Structure 1
Amino acid sequence: MTAPGSGGGGAPGTGARTRRVRALVGEALADAVDVRTRAGGTVACDLSGGLDSTSITFLAARSDARVVASTWPSLDPLDEDVAWARRAAAHLPAVEHVVWPAERIPLVYENLLGVDDPMDEPTIGVMDRQRLLEDLAGLAGKGCRVRLTGIGGDHVAWCSEAHYHSVLRRRPLFAIRQLRAFRALFHWPLVPMVRTLADSRSYRAWLTDQAGRLRAPWGPAVAGALGWGTPPRLFDWVTPRALELARAALLEADAEPLGRTRGEHADLEPVLSCARIIRQWEQMSARAGLPVQSPFLDDRVIEACFSVRPEERVTPWRYKPVLTEAMRGIVPDDCLARTTKAQAALEASAGLRRHRGDLVELWEGSRLAELGLVDRRRLTELALRPDTPELRSAILYSTIGCEVWLRGQDTNRGATHATAR
């Protein structure tokens, strides 16, 4: 792995370069975990079996704290999380490993009508709030004082393929070889891929162009992967009034990218989006009595990961090479070998079916509809047809997040007035 200012640029290697990565990333992540475990006591760690949560668990296990590792099974019989979590736990005999009963799995969309947390902005984090709280209740009963997650690892230990828009102009032969492999891996169509790589619009120009395409069909995934990001789109339940408001906001925005290049922008935007969700979860969990913290989102960890060349952080040949090398010697090699990731799709689809009544009630009393921003009839219709192909992706999440937030504003405003009296 190449450190800032050094030569090279191929696949991660060994020797001095690998030691440099361990110093840059491994030490930063170890410090982030240590600051949360050095006080001792009992500490909970998520252990999904993925590389991110496994790394956090092994780092925590090196401390003097007692560690409880928590794993949720999946409704998907092909999901490998529990098997990989058990593999990791087998290397940690001093760690208590808890696999929660499958019948206790809170589904997505559960208890949306019961959300009463004071939130300062809408968040899709409410979709999994019940799962968060269910986990906390069991861990608090075991005496845990904090729960560490691997959330953020996907955003900092990997990076956007959009970096190759710039790499192509610096190292064309290398970039072409990598891009051909990415195309095979992700099944990117050739013509949209070439068109996106040739596109030299500024971020502001791209965003302005999107203002006229808010109802356009979704384009090929490669346009978002190698461009400025996923283009903004409005679904058919968003009203014409809301469409005009969104279009005006895009046209009036004094928009600047978060970084100098598409890749830098595409790296930072999801980190910020993830951190905003986690901030709300941290507030929810602290209110529930067991704070959640995510070491991967510490500033020093982000800076350490982003100081490694992007073409060495994202490669079609290896999965999360930066984190894998940083954890070498800390996490056993057989636990570093995983390249799959669970999707929780069955929990989402089952949640739609089980909680469609709650969704109907949510839309019947919709604050968004009262403001003229969504079509109440259309959303109710979708709630009554949870198996419709139109809901195969998480397209309801942002709308639900806004609706729950608005309802919470009414609830919290009423509570504040009652307290004042």
Structure 2
Amino acid sequence: MSAITGIYRRSEEQLDTNGLTRMARTLSHRGPDGVGIWSGGSVEFGHRMLYTTPESRHATYPLQRGKYVLTADVRLDNRAELIAELDLERRRNRPTTDGELLLAAYERWGDRCPNRLLGAFVFAIWDDEQNRVFCARDHVGIRPLYYHLSDNLFVFGSEIRALRASPDVPTPLNEVRIGEHLAGLFEDKTGTAYRSISRLPPAHTMTVTPEDVTSRNYWTPDPSRELQLDSDQAYAERFKELFEKAVRCRLRSTRPVGATLSGGLDSSSITTTAADLTPDQYELPTFSAVFDAVPESNERRFIEDVIDETTVAPTFVSPNKTSPLPDTDGFASRDGPIAIPTLYVHRELCRAASQRNVRVLLHGFGGDSTVSYGFTALPEYTHTGYWRRLLHETECVADRFDVPVRTVLWGTVLKPMIPSLVRDVWGRVQGWDSLIERINSTIDPEFADRIGLQERIQRFEIDRPPVKDFVRGHHYRNLTSGFVPFSLESSDRTAARFGLEVRYPFLDKRLIEYCLALPPEQFLRNGWSRSILRRAMGTRLPDTVAARVWKTDLSEAFSSALITHERDRLEKLSNSPAHVDAYIDRPALQQAIDRLLTDQTLDDARPVWRALTLEDWLRGLSFS
């Protein structure tokens, strides 16, 4: 996790060299280990360095070689393969850096080089021969890239605050994104809180020349491929092999590597595997959030079971001792209103890891997307005529969750088959006036109509690529959801504040492609969801964790923290003029706040929180 910045005057005007210096200065928190600026007339690149791999200590950016100049935030996980394929000579005094590998890949394969890379990366290359800037972002969007593009200017950076530091970048607010924030909609992979600033989507390249701009999607997981192996054991062994490889390649670090540990299947699998792959004398630092005062959200007993059976050095944090809202300083410099309620938990885990001198943090995010729960196999069995398998799995699921069989049949088989139009009609019968009201009743109806919010929500539903079968279609949509890069970008900004790089083994491209190609029964077997993960981990997981069939809901903890720490601000928001009045139905917000403070209704916590985070951000902008 370093930082990149750049300015390209497409009209070939000379640059004001102070402009990029100001941009790079705003990203100093991302790169305390070094700063670099390269200027080439109409093009200027910047870089902030954070050492997180042994090779990064030997890297210097921007990197110039012949007719190319590179600035990059990169960690390559297939270094050995690339070195062999590119026939690079082994250096005597230092290792080949990831940047050198990347430039060699570009020299060999040109625009197709991102297809050959594995890892987390975002980079920009000035190609003097072709008079262009070529940019690329990794397959799932772990590394962010924001940019402003006009007829004569291209400006980019790792955070929006860098672009806002440039006087050449206008920053009118994007009201559509504000509406999406209030609605909890994340599917737009290009929009930001500013109309003139965009995001490069995951697995995309962008080429900018004086005359033209082109963008290309270079990778999409293939939902049509199905893998057939000889036995369940073969599937599990292959998964274990890929998973261990995904964890191992993410253990390269200049400082101790830590891991978040929640006691769930994903974080526990990462922790126990990482502990097995590290030297015996090394105790893996783990960081766990506990909510002892909120039993419904507390996973301490599962966390302690993992700790008891694994060589780790645990640290416990209590996020609910702090507010779930962002810190009160620096509102104007934030990239937009904070949109993920549980981000405060991640913030406190990162704070604890930084205090333990950890620079790399393994995280279980992406596990739910990569390793499907498999419940969509049940409606698929009805379509394919596997009635015995349907009955068997339905009975087993009902037994695992201790619910009637009819509840499973309705929730997982019949309800998903009801067309959305019928559900809309039923909603109106129940008294819901509109889709917006169902999602967030505090949104001002006139504002929603003005930006076409309801139509936008419906369009994102319709535009999902069709995949015939239930299991792979649902799996594919989860993997390609806009929520994935949005969450990664939010996590990235939070971790950067503490000088951390977060790594996600479950988002390894090889593991994603393997899991998407698995037959449905590898995910749901004898009522056990995510069956292949449970079988592959074997005895690594404590029995209590391996037998978990549910995820802990943090809604109670979040609601409790919001009421405890922000009661005064909520009361002030409901009783005084606010910046959100242009977007919020004030009477509806008042009712939601009253219900939250008196009855502690969970359904009101998120809409109220979204209004409050939007107010904080807008208030900060008014003082910038």
Deviation at 1:250, TM superposition (A): 5.2
Q: Give 1:264's aligned residue.
A: 472
1:150 CA drift (Å) = 1.6
Asked if the contact 2:371–2:530 (Cα under 8 Å) also holds between the matched residues in 1, the reply is yes
Residue 243 of structure 2 aligns to a residue in which SS?
helix
Deviations 1:210-262 (A, max 9, x none): 6667766599xxxxxxxxxx999333323332554333335666923345144
TM-score by length of 1: 0.74
Deviation of the 1:143 alpha carbon = 0.9
- Structure 1 gaps of 5+ residues are 8-15, 220-229, 416-421
State the distance in 2 between where 1:107 and 1:270 align: 31
**Structure 1 residues 78, 129: closer, same or farther in 2, change over 3 A?**
closer
Paired residue type of 1:358: R
Larger CA deviation: 104-113 vs 210-219: 210-219
C-alpha distance in 2 between matches for 1:155 and 1:239: 33
Asked if 1:383 is matched to 2:383, the reply is no
Q: 2:393 aligns with which of 168, 173, 178?
A: 178
Structure 1 residues 84 and 256: alpha-carbon distance in aligned structure 2, compared to 1, 3 A threshold:
same
When structure 1 is superposed on structure 2, of 39-48 and 264-273 the one drifting more is 264-273
| 3-state DSSP of counterpart to 2:514 | helix
- 1:30 is matched with 244
Taking a change above 3 Å as real, the CA distance of residues 297 and 353 of structure 1, as seen in their structure-2 partners, is same
8 Å contact kept, 1:107–1:348: no
Aligned-residue CA RMSD in angstroms? 3.9
Secondary structure of residue in 1 paired with 2:359: strand
1:129 to 339, 343, 346: 343
Structure 1 residue 42, shift from structure 2 partner: 0.6
Shift in Å at residue 37 of structure 1? Answer: 0.8
Structure 1 letter corresponding to 2:273 = L
Q: Distance in 2 between matches of 1:88 and 1:190?
A: 31
**Secondary structure at 2:438 match in 1:** coil
1:163-242 equivalent positions in 2, closer than 5 A = 163-170=377-384, 171-182=386-397, 185=401, 189=407, 196=414, 199=417, 201=419, 206=420, 217=430, 233-242=438-447
Which of 490, 506, 512 does residue 302 from structure 1 map onto?
A: 512
| Superimposed CA distance per residue, residues 87-143 of structure 1 (whole angstroms, 9 cap, x where no aligned partner) | 2222333x211223x5x6445634475573866666532x23333222222221211
- The answer to whether structure 1 residue 81 and structure 2 residue 299 are counterparts is yes
Q: Is the 8 A contact 1:162 1:263 kept in 2?
A: yes
Once the two structures are TM-superposed, the CA of residue 322 in structure 1 deviates from its matched residue by 1.3
The answer as to whether partners of 1:110 and 1:351 remain within 8 angstroms in 2 is: no
Contact kept, 8 Å, 2:442 with 2:585, in 1: the verdict is yes
Alignment partner for residue 262 of structure 2, among 48, 65, 83? 48
Q: Secondary structure at the match of 1:99?
A: strand
More helix by share: 1
Deviations 1:64-108 (CA, angstroms, capped at 9, x unpaired): 576201122222347662222222222333x211223x5x64456
Quote the Cα distance in structure 2 between the aligned partners of 1:122 and 1:367: 13
Conserved in 1, the CA contact under 8 Å of 2:289 and 2:316?
yes
Tell me, yes or no, if structure 1 residue 291 matches structure 2 residue 501. Answer: yes
Q: Structure 1 pair 258/197, CA: closer, same or farther in 2 (3 Å)? A: same
User: Contact 2:523–2:532 at 8 Å: present in 1 too?
Assistant: yes
Matched, 1:318 2:535: no
Are residue 351 (structure 1) and residue 561 (structure 2) matched? Answer: yes
Give the total of aligned pairs. Answer: 382
In 2, are the aligned partners of 1:37 and 1:43 still within 8 Å (CA)?
yes
Pairing 1:156–2:370 present: yes
* Larger strand fraction of residues: 2
**CA distance in structure 1 between the aligned counterparts of 2:431 and 2:521, rounded to whole angstroms:** 28
Answer whether contact 1:45 1:67 (CA < 8 A) is retained: yes
State whether residues 359 and 380 of structure 1, in contact with CA within 8 Å, keep that contact through their aligned partners in structure 2: no
Distance 1:280 1:235, change over 3 A: closer
Q: Secondary structure at the match of 1:45?
A: strand
Q: Given that residues 255 and 358 in structure 2 are in contact (C-alpha distance below 8 angstroms), is that contact kept between their aligned partners in structure 1?
A: yes
Residue among 341, 355, 369 paired with 2:581: 369
Give the conservation status (yes or no) of the 8 Å contact 1:157–1:313: yes
8 A contact 1:22–1:327 mirrored in 2: no
Deviations 1:341-368 (A, max 9, x none): 3223442232232122223445555544
Q: Which residue of 1 aligns with 2:60?
A: none
What is the match of residue 12 of structure 1? none
| Letter paired with 1:236 | S
The amino acid of 2:464's aligned partner reads: P
Going from structure 1 to structure 2, the CA distance change for 1:196 and 1:60 (only over 3 Å counts) comes to same
Give the superposition deviation at 1:183.
5.5
The structure whose Rg is larger is 2
* 1:289 counterpart letter in structure 2: G
The structure-2 alpha-carbon separation of the partners of 1:265 and 1:137, relative to structure 1 and needing over 3 Å to count, comes to same
Identity score, percent: 17
Q: Structure 1 197/291 Cα, relative in aligned 2: closer, same or farther at 3 Å?
A: same
Q: SS of the counterpart of 1:327?
A: helix
